[in-house]
Amino acid sequence: MGFINKKVRKGTHIGISSKDGSASKISRLIRAVTLGIASTLFFGFGATIGAPAQAEQVDCRSRRAQDAILFLEQRIEFRPPFVFCLEMLPGYSEVLSLVVDRRDILMSDDHLVVAECDRDCRDVDIAIYDSRGRFIAEDTTPDTFAAVRLNNLYVGAVLNVVVIMYNCQASYCGVVVGTMPVQ
């Protein structure tokens, strides 16, 4: 499953910094960010190294990305074959797109999308939408790890993953997002 760096808006601010609202309120806010996909010009690939303006793709060899990858490997005892590395300010989100290919389906029809953040992060969440902006699933638990299981995938499916950085104790935090087959 390949990540394609398609963004709704670079570093879209979702306007909330804590989770004192209900899950449905959070879902509505995430949906509002994601629905802009249909009318927004998508950008192509592009890695930027250095401190982010709000949220951006970074080289996975950066210290923050390596911290997040290590924490993810320790948690799930496996390194996902596909990873996407970000650095984000708290209260901002980033939209990544997945395209399911034949190799993915040969591994399994079911996949797990996971996100983990670095040592300065206290809460990261993910929400998954289809190519038309329809909500599929989310993980909004207040912790440094998020996972969503996707069942019955098919070749050509396009899924938009909204990554939300809620709480970061530094000027910005590193986040790694990956996918893996589920047997």
For the stretch 100-157, pLDDT in tens is 888 888 888 899 999 999 999 999 999 999 999 999 999 999 999 999 999 989 999 9
User: How many other CB atoms sit within 10 Å of the CB of residue 69?
Assistant: 21
What's the predicted TM-score (pTM) here? 0.71
Q: State the pLDDT confidence band at 82, using cuts at 50, 70 and 90.
A: low
Tokens representing 18 are 């804590």
Give 8-47 pLDDT, tens digit per residue.
333 443 333 333 433 333 433 333 333 333 222 222 222 3
Residue pair 8/37 in contact (Cβ under 8 Å)? The answer is: yes
Q: Is the separation of the CB atoms in 112 and 179 below 8 Å? A: yes
Whether 97 and 159 have beta carbons less than 8 Å apart is answered as: yes
CA nearest neighbour of 150 among 130, 121, 170, 132? 130
Q: What is the pLDDT of residue 61?
A: 86
Please state, in angstroms and rounded to a whole number, the distance separating the CA atoms of residues 183 and 54. 36
List of domains in the chain: 2-182 (2.60.120.380)
- Comparing 94 with 8, the larger pLDDT belongs to 94
